[in-house]
Structure 1
Amino acid sequence: MAEIRHLAIRTENPERLARFYMEVFGLKELHRGSHPGHPAGKSVHLTDGYFELAILDNSTQQSPNGLYHFGIKIEDMEETLKRLKKFQADKPIRQRPQGTPFAEMRVSDVEGNLIDLSVHGFLDYQPLKKESGEIE
C-alpha cells in the first residue's frame, strides 16, 4: 500500500514557520540546507517521527506561498504510472532532476496538485524509533 510520507510548504520565512511547527507541535528537525533547483533558497525539514514536513524558502516567489506538493512512497513505479496514465492520460509525468534525493517522479492529481512519487523514500528518511522499538 502507498504511504503519504512527505509534504512541502513554501514560505518567505522558513525559520519562523519551522519554529512554529517545532514549538507548537513538537516536531523535530531532520535536515537544513538548500534544496535542488533552488540552491540559494534554504529549507528546513521536520518530522513527527514518521511523516516529513519540508519547509521551503520562497523569498523569490517562484509560486504562491502555501502547499507546494506532497510525496507518496509507493511499492512499484511502473505499475503506479500505468494506473495514473489510465486515469488521466493528458496530465504530465516528469522525472525529477538527476541527483534529486527525495523523489523519482513528479505527477499531479486531477485538480492539478503536485505529487512526488518515490520507491526509495524521501531523503532516505526512516521513522524515528524509541528505545523500545516503537515509532516515536
Structure 2
Amino acid sequence: MAKLRHIAIATRTPAEDAKFYEDTFGWQRLAGPADHPLGRFVVVTDGTVNIAFVDFSSDQIGKGPAYTGLHHIGVLVSDGEQAADDIQSHGGRRLDFEGGDDGGFEVKFVGPSGLVFDIAEHPWLGTSL
C-alpha cells in the first residue's frame, strides 16, 4: 500500500507558518528557512509525514504564482514505474515543469479532481517508511 509522507503548502510566510506548527503541535524543524530554485522553504515533521511550507518562485500546478494553500502531497510507493502506469491508467496525468530536482520528489502527477501529488520510491526527509 502506498503511504502519504509529504504535504506541501504554498505560503508567502514559510518561516512563520512552520513556527506556528512547531509551537502548537511540537513538530520538529528539519530544514530551513532556505532558498531553493523552486522557492524559499521550511520543512517540519511529526515523525511520520513531513510538511514543507514553500514560497514558490514559479507556478508548478497551474494556479498562478500568487496561489497559497495546499500545493501537493507526496506518496511513497514501492515501484515508481508501476505506480506511474497505474496512475495514468486510472485517469491521472503526469505534470512536467521547470525546476530543480534535489531528490525530494520523483515525478508529479495530477488526479482527476485536480489534486497534484508526487510519487517517490524513497521516504522524504523526516518521514517513516
Question: What interval of TM-score do these two structures reach, taking the shorter chain for normalisation?
Answer: 0.7 to 0.9
Residue 70 (1) aligns with residue 68 (2): no
Segments of 4+ in structure 1 off by > 6 A?
none
Structure possessing the higher radius of gyration over alpha carbons:
1
What are the residue-to-residue correspondences of 1:31-110 with 2, within 5 Å? 31-32=31-32, 33-38=34-39, 42-58=40-56, 62-88=65-91, 91-94=93-96, 99-110=101-112
Higher normalized contact order (CA 8 Å, seq sep 6+, divided by chain length): 2
Structure 2: where are the runs of 5+ without partners? 59-63
Percent identity between matched residues is 28
TM-score of the pair, normalised by structure 1:
0.78
| 1:9 equivalent in structure 2 | 9
Partner SS state of residue 92, structure 1: strand
Count of residues in correspondence between the two structures: 122
Secondary structure of the corresponding residue to residue 111 of structure 1:
coil
CA distance in 1, matches of 2:54, 2:27: 16
Alignment RMSD, CA only? 2.4
CA deviation string 1:34-66 (max 9, x = no partner): 23333xxx2110001111000102588714111
Structure 1: which 5+ residue stretches go unaligned?
Answer: 128-136
C-alpha distance in 2, partners of 1:35/1:98?
8
Q: What whole-Å deviation, never above 9, does each CA across 1:18-42 have from its counterpart, x for those lacking one?
A: 111011111110011123333xxx2
